[in-house]
A and B are shown apart, each in its own frame.
Chain A
Amino acid sequence: MFLNPVLAMHIPDGFLSVAVALVGWALMVVLVGLALRETRDKLGERQIPLMGILAAFIFAAQMINFPVAGGTSGHLLGGALAAILLGPWSAVLVMLSVISVQALLFQDGGLLALGFNTINMGVITVFVGYAIYNWVQALPGRAHGNRLLAAAIGAWVGVEVAAIATSLELVASGTSPLQIALPAMVGVHALIGVGEALITVGAIAFIQQTRPDLLGETAKKAARGSSWIAVGLLIALLVVFLSPLASPSPDGLERVAADQGFLDAAQDAPYQLLPDYTVPVIKNEALTTIAAGVVGVLVVAGIGYGVGRLNSHGKAGKRGHTV
């Protein structure tokens, strides 16, 4: 069941503390507001039918699976694919619609948890995937302009960063201990990400052969992609660097280790990804939440600043070149 990405990342209600859930909602409201404005400017009256039908497409695409082994199957989450096909802001709206319908209509993922579910699956996979996709294509050497390789790496990294973010949210809520949640989520999603990458490449390759004009449209938009690279990488870095900040519980796991002596035994097993894990920087749960909130605001401010600069550039005049 955990091998199924569709469920593995949909946090149900009750697993996030109310404070953490509200931070997620605040972030989501700001980002979705930005996404609505951006896409309205770009698409005009086409916005509603195009976004609506493509949201239904992502929903249906998540049904298409391929058998892996032992009864498990690979699925698509779709964030990176949507970003590559539609551009990041449209992709955020499409993913938000998908995740909302899954929560409202099918109870896949909670309503209070909708904020962070959207951030994880609809913002992080989109922005990180898109940034990496553009970055890899801009690299010199053999990777230069290799759209499929770039899509594969973008999809994989996007899923991985989203998994890290999901585990951090659970840890900050006191629902999962860091030493276990983080390596488990990262490990499982390293495999899930491979499925995501392969499917994304398959889809892009098919579209490249049949309707290359559709990819050309977004490629032109990617001319302004250099700032996206910065934004996406910033998100990824923030998520990663947040890991030591998120205190698993105010009680402190070090004491458990001392009291029970079991962590010594347990550390032989899968937890060696964090061998030097020490006492969390912030011991107080409330403080952790505040720290998360502050960082969240900084993320939003950074994104807002980036968007503002992009707009002024776009209006200022011509773009240098098209990819």
Chain B
Amino acid sequence: MTLSLSLQERYQAGDSPLHHLDPRVKVVMTLLLILGVVLTPEGAWPAYPLLWAVIGGLAAVGGLGAVRVARAGSVALPFALAAVTLLFTVPGQPIASIFGLPITDAGLTRFLSIMIRSWLAVQAALVLAMSTHFTDLLWALGSLRVPGTLVAIITFMYRYLFTLKDEAARLLRARAARSGILPGYRSGGPLFWRARVAGGMIGNLFLRSYERSERVYAAMLARGYSGQMRMLTPPQLTWGAIWWGAVPVAALLLVEMLAFLVWT
């Protein structure tokens, strides 16, 4: 089971200043934080805890728990497999060896830097997702010039995500209910057959989804839909919100400046 299959929504309702911050400011702030984290030069060791302090500080202000966010940020760790061979292939002084392959100091530096930066970037994205309701997030994207049609499509997708997830879960439950195991007998058919069954279930799910979309569209037409999604008047963007969001970004800039000028 992967992360996305549990469909555990990350959003945590709250009353903190971070929750009340204008979602547009939060989106821009998060993107800048991620950009800054990824731009940090490798081996700038003092920068990493400071960056974590900025992101963890935001999590703490939002009442999300800096440690909890840090722990949840480890979701990208399996991807380390893609970078782990850097340990051996980047030229440098050998400092240790595994299975006869020497680990170089430069390789270790690059690998650790990539892992830490990735971990920090995931935490920044997590803080955004945990403190902003998804519909607010989508609205913010729309007012930040993401095409309105695309935002409407994703809003619709979000609306039906859980409905169709339940359909899929019912299909899986039905399959499990019909897959009895007799002691002493080999259970399940050949691999080819199992894959075709899963394919059939997905075909079934497609038909249910497609027919549902036809019903939904008819219902929308009946209620006066004419191709435009209607929205309430958006709140004004205040200077207060912008200043609030500028604080972590300024801290980020300071750390990055030190990282580029002093710590590399």
Let me know if A23 is at the binding interface, CB within 8 A: no
Q: Is A203 a contact of B200 with CB atoms below 8 Å? A: yes
Q: Is B114 a contact of A13 with CB atoms below 8 Å? A: no
Q: How many residues of B contact A (CB 8 A)?
A: 94
CA of A284 to CA of B252 in the docked complex: distance in angstroms?
29
Q: Is A199 a contact of B163 with CB atoms below 8 Å? A: no
**Cβ-closest chain A residue relative to B161:** A56
Question: What 0/1 pattern do residues 82 to 114 of A give for CB contact below 8 A with B?
Answer: 000100000001001110111111111011100
Q: Which of B's residues lie within 8 Å of A, judged by CB?
A: 2-5, 9-10, 30-31, 34-35, 37-39, 75-76, 78-79, 81-83, 85-86, 88-91, 94, 100-102, 104, 110, 114-115, 117-122, 125-126, 129, 134, 137, 147, 149-150, 152-161, 163-165, 167-169, 171-172, 188, 191-192, 194-207, 209-210, 212-213, 216-217, 220, 225-227, 229
With contacts A53-B157, A56-B161, A207-B206 taken as known, whether A63 is within 8 angstroms of B220 at the C-beta atoms is no
Chain B hits for A100, CB < 8 A: 154
Chain A hits for B4, CB < 8 A: 6, 59, 62, 102, 106, 108
Q: Is B129 a contact of A48 with CB atoms below 8 Å? A: no
Q: When the two chains form the complex, which single residue of B89, B94, B203 contacts A202, counting CB atoms closer than 8 Å?
A: B203
CA of A206 to CA of B217 in the docked complex: distance in angstroms?
24
Dominant secondary structure of chain B at its interface with chain A: helix
Q: Is A203 a contact of B202 with CB atoms below 8 Å? A: yes
Let me know if A143 is at the binding interface, CB within 8 A: no
Q: Is A52 a contact of B195 with CB atoms below 8 Å? A: no
Q: How many residues of A contact B (CB 8 A)?
A: 98
Q: Is A63 a contact of B200 with CB atoms below 8 Å? A: no
Q: Is B220 a contact of A85 with CB atoms below 8 Å? A: no
**Cβ-closest chain A residue relative to B201:** A64
CB proximity of A295 to chain B, nearest CB, Å:
22
Chain A hits for B205, CB < 8 A: 57, 60-61, 64
Q: Is A48 a contact of B153 with CB atoms below 8 Å? A: yes
Q: Is A60 a contact of B164 with CB atoms below 8 Å? A: yes
Q: Is B89 a contact of A180 with CB atoms below 8 Å? A: yes
Q: Which of A's residues lie within 8 Å of B, judged by CB?
A: 1-2, 4, 6-7, 10-18, 21, 32-33, 36, 40, 44-57, 59-69, 74, 76, 81, 85, 93, 96-98, 100-108, 110-112, 170, 174-177, 179-181, 195, 198-207, 210-211, 214, 248-249, 251-253, 255-256, 259-260, 262, 265-266
Q: Is B165 a contact of A174 with CB atoms below 8 Å? A: no
**Cβ-closest chain B residue relative to A93:** B153
Q: Is B209 a contact of A199 with CB atoms below 8 Å? A: no
A-B CB contact pairs (8 Å), 28 listed: A13-B37, A14-B122, A47-B149, A48-B156, A51-B153, A52-B152, A52-B157, A54-B210, A55-B153, A59-B157, A61-B168, A64-B168, A65-B198, A69-B191, A74-B198, A104-B134, A105-B129, A175-B86, A180-B85, A195-B195, A199-B202, A203-B203, A203-B206, A204-B199, A205-B203, A260-B102, A262-B101, A266-B101
CB proximity of B71 to chain A, nearest CB, Å:
13
CB proximity of B190 to chain A, nearest CB, Å:
11
Q: Is A7 a contact of B78 with CB atoms below 8 Å? A: yes
CA of A45 to CA of B35 in the docked complex: distance in angstroms?
37
CA of A225 to CA of B121 in the docked complex: distance in angstroms?
41
Chain B hits for A69, CB < 8 A: 191
CA of A255 to CA of B164 in the docked complex: distance in angstroms?
53
Q: Is B2 a contact of A53 with CB atoms below 8 Å? A: no
